[in-house]
Structure 1
Amino acid sequence: MQQKERLIQLLEQQLAHSNKQNNELAKKLEQSLKQIEVLTEQVRQLTKALYGSKSEKSKYRAPDGQISLFEDEDDPFFNESEHTEEQSTETICYTVTRKKTNKKRNDSFRGDIEIEEIHHHPENIICDCCHGEMVEFSSVLVREEAKFIPATMKRVQHFEHVYECKTCKKDNLQKAQIKRGKAPQGAIQRSIAGPTVLAKLIYDKFIQYLPLYRQVKEWERYGLLTNDKNLSNWVIRVSEDWLQPLYDLMKQQLMKKSVLHIDETYSKIIKRSDGKAPQSNAYNWVCRSVQSEGPIIVLFKSALSRGRAILEDLIKDFKGTVICDGYSAYNQLPNVKFANCWAHVRRYWLKVDSKNGRIGVEYCDRLFHIERKIKHLSPEKRVQIRQKEAKPIIDEFFDWIDRSPFFGKNAIAKAAEYTLSRKEELKVFLDNGNVAIDNNPAENAIRPNVIGRKNWLFSFSEAGAKANAICLSLAETAKANGIDFYRYLVKLMTDLPNLPIHQQPEILHDYLPWSENIQATCAK
Structure 2
Amino acid sequence: MSLAEVCALASRLQTQVRHTEALNAKLTHEMAVLKRLKFAATSERFSAEQKSLLEEAIDEDLEALAREVEQLQTTAKKPVDKHTPKRQALPSDLPRRDVHHEPENTTCRTPGCGCQLKRIGEDISEKLDYLPGSFAVERHVRGKWACVKCQTLIQAPVPAAVIDKGIATAGLMAHVVVSKYIDHQPLFRLESIMGRSGVSVPRSTQAEWVGAIGVQLAPLVQAMRDDLLSRQVLHADETPVAMLKPGLGKTHRAYLWSYCTTVWDDINAVVFDFAESRAGHNARRFLGIGEDGVGGWRGTLICDDYAGYKQAMNAGVTEAGCLAHARRKFHELWANHSSTLAEQALKLFGVLYDIEREVKDLDGRTRLRIRQLESRPAADLLHAWLMANRQKLPDGSATARAIDYSLKRWAALTRFIDNGDLAADNNRIENLIRPIALGRKNWLFAGSLRAGQRAAAIMSLLHTARLNGLEPYAYLKDVLERLPTQPASAMRDLLPYRRQPMI
Shorter-chain TM-score: what band?
0.7 to 0.9
Against the structure 1 CA distance between its residues 365 and 407, is the aligned structure 2 distance closer, same or farther, given a 3 Å change threshold? same
Against the structure 1 CA distance between its residues 315 and 44, is the aligned structure 2 distance closer, same or farther, given a 3 Å change threshold? closer
Separation in structure 2 between the aligned mates of residue 19 and residue 229 of structure 1, nearest angstrom: 82
1:514 aligned partner, one-letter code: Y
Separation in structure 2 between the aligned mates of residue 423 and residue 51 of structure 1, nearest angstrom: 28
The Cα of 1:350 is off from its aligned counterpart by 1.7
Indicate yes or no: 2:426 matched with 1:451. Answer: no
Indicate yes or no: 2:224 matched with 1:237. Answer: no
1:326 aligned partner, one-letter code: D
Q: Is the 1:153–1:223 Cα contact (8 Å) retained in structure 2?
A: no
Q: Is the 1:370–1:390 Cα contact (8 Å) retained in structure 2?
A: yes
Indicate yes or no: 2:240 matched with 1:258. Answer: no
Against the structure 1 CA distance between its residues 443 and 219, is the aligned structure 2 distance closer, same or farther, given a 3 Å change threshold? same
1:247 aligned partner, one-letter code: V
Tell me which residue corresponds to 1:191.
Answer: 166
Separation in structure 2 between the aligned mates of residue 52 and residue 459 of structure 1, nearest angstrom: 24
Separation in structure 2 between the aligned mates of residue 482 and residue 39 of structure 1, nearest angstrom: 50
Tell me which residue corresponds to 1:345.
Answer: 326
Q: Is the 2:319–2:412 Cα contact (8 Å) retained in structure 1?
A: yes
Indicate yes or no: 2:498 matched with 1:523. Answer: no
Tell me which residue corresponds to 1:156.
Answer: 138
**Aligned length, in residue pairs:** 397
**Larger CA deviation: 178-187 vs 245-254:** 178-187
Tell me which residue corresponds to 2:425.
Answer: 438
Separation in structure 1 between the aligned mates of residue 237 and residue 33 of structure 2, nearest angstrom: 27
Tell me which residue corresponds to 1:307.
Answer: 279
Q: Secondary structure at the match of 1:302?
A: strand
- 1:493 corresponds to which of 480, 483, 491: 480
Q: Is the 1:151–1:222 Cα contact (8 Å) retained in structure 2?
A: no
The Cα of 1:381 is off from its aligned counterpart by 0.6
Tell me which residue corresponds to 1:289.
Answer: 261
Deviation track 1:283-305 (CA, whole Å, cap 9, x = no partner) reads 00111101322120111010001
Against the structure 1 CA distance between its residues 254 and 363, is the aligned structure 2 distance closer, same or farther, given a 3 Å change threshold? same
Separation in structure 2 between the aligned mates of residue 349 and residue 44 of structure 1, nearest angstrom: 11
The Cα of 1:494 is off from its aligned counterpart by 1.2
Q: Is the 2:177–2:210 Cα contact (8 Å) retained in structure 1?
A: yes
Tell me which residue corresponds to 1:94.
Answer: none
- 1:507 corresponds to which of 490, 495, 501: 490
The Cα of 1:49 is off from its aligned counterpart by 6.0
Q: Secondary structure at the match of 1:351?
A: helix
Q: Is the 2:25–2:397 Cα contact (8 Å) retained in structure 1?
A: no
Separation in structure 1 between the aligned mates of residue 497 and residue 175 of structure 2, nearest angstrom: 21
Q: Is the 1:284–1:300 Cα contact (8 Å) retained in structure 2?
A: yes
Separation in structure 2 between the aligned mates of residue 240 and residue 408 of structure 1, nearest angstrom: 54
- 1:399 corresponds to which of 375, 381, 384: 384
Separation in structure 1 between the aligned mates of residue 149 and residue 378 of structure 2, nearest angstrom: 92
- 2:222 corresponds to which of 234, 248, 261: 248
1:240 aligned partner, one-letter code: V
1:184 aligned partner, one-letter code: P
Separation in structure 2 between the aligned mates of residue 178 and residue 470 of structure 1, nearest angstrom: 44
Indicate yes or no: 2:293 matched with 1:320. Answer: no
Which structure is higher in strand share?
A: 2
Against the structure 1 CA distance between its residues 399 and 152, is the aligned structure 2 distance closer, same or farther, given a 3 Å change threshold? closer
Deviation track 1:84-132 (CA, whole Å, cap 9, x = no partner) reads xxxxxxxxxxxxxxxxxxxxxxxxxxxxxxxxxxxxxxxxxxxxxxxxx
The Cα of 1:392 is off from its aligned counterpart by 1.2
Tell me which residue corresponds to 1:359.
Answer: 344
Percent identical: 28
The Cα of 1:488 is off from its aligned counterpart by 0.8
Structure possessing the higher radius of gyration over alpha carbons:
1
1:167 aligned partner, one-letter code: K
Against the structure 1 CA distance between its residues 263 and 47, is the aligned structure 2 distance closer, same or farther, given a 3 Å change threshold? closer
Tell me which residue corresponds to 1:369.
Answer: 354
Separation in structure 1 between the aligned mates of residue 36 and residue 494 of structure 2, nearest angstrom: 49
Separation in structure 2 between the aligned mates of residue 407 and residue 323 of structure 1, nearest angstrom: 31
Q: Secondary structure at the match of 2:239?
A: strand
Separation in structure 2 between the aligned mates of residue 32 and residue 396 of structure 1, nearest angstrom: 34
The Cα of 1:481 is off from its aligned counterpart by 0.6
Deviation track 1:136-162 (CA, whole Å, cap 9, x = no partner) reads xxxxxxxxxxxxx98332343445444
Q: Secondary structure at the match of 1:156?
A: strand
Tell me which residue corresponds to 1:471.
Answer: 458
Tell me which residue corresponds to 1:179.
Answer: 154
Tell me which residue corresponds to 1:168.
Answer: 150
Q: Is the 1:187–1:194 Cα contact (8 Å) retained in structure 2?
A: no
Separation in structure 2 between the aligned mates of residue 233 and residue 24 of structure 1, nearest angstrom: 75
Q: Secondary structure at the match of 1:280?
A: strand
Against the structure 1 CA distance between its residues 191 and 280, is the aligned structure 2 distance closer, same or farther, given a 3 Å change threshold? same
What TM-score, normalized by structure 2, do the two folds share? 0.74
Superposition RMSD in Å: 2.5
The Cα of 1:371 is off from its aligned counterpart by 0.3
2:306 aligned partner, one-letter code: Y
Unaligned stretches of 5+ residues in structure 2: 40-130, 289-295
The Cα of 1:21 is off from its aligned counterpart by 6.0
The Cα of 1:443 is off from its aligned counterpart by 0.1
Against the structure 1 CA distance between its residues 447 and 52, is the aligned structure 2 distance closer, same or farther, given a 3 Å change threshold? closer
Q: Secondary structure at the match of 2:260?
A: strand
Q: Is the 1:449–1:472 Cα contact (8 Å) retained in structure 2?
A: no
The Cα of 1:471 is off from its aligned counterpart by 1.5
2:309 aligned partner, one-letter code: Y
**Larger CA deviation: 476-485 vs 276-285:** 276-285
1:255 aligned partner, one-letter code: L
Give the 4+ runs in structure 1 shifted more than 4 A: 51-54
Q: Secondary structure at the match of 2:324?
A: helix
Against the structure 1 CA distance between its residues 363 and 523, is the aligned structure 2 distance closer, same or farther, given a 3 Å change threshold? same
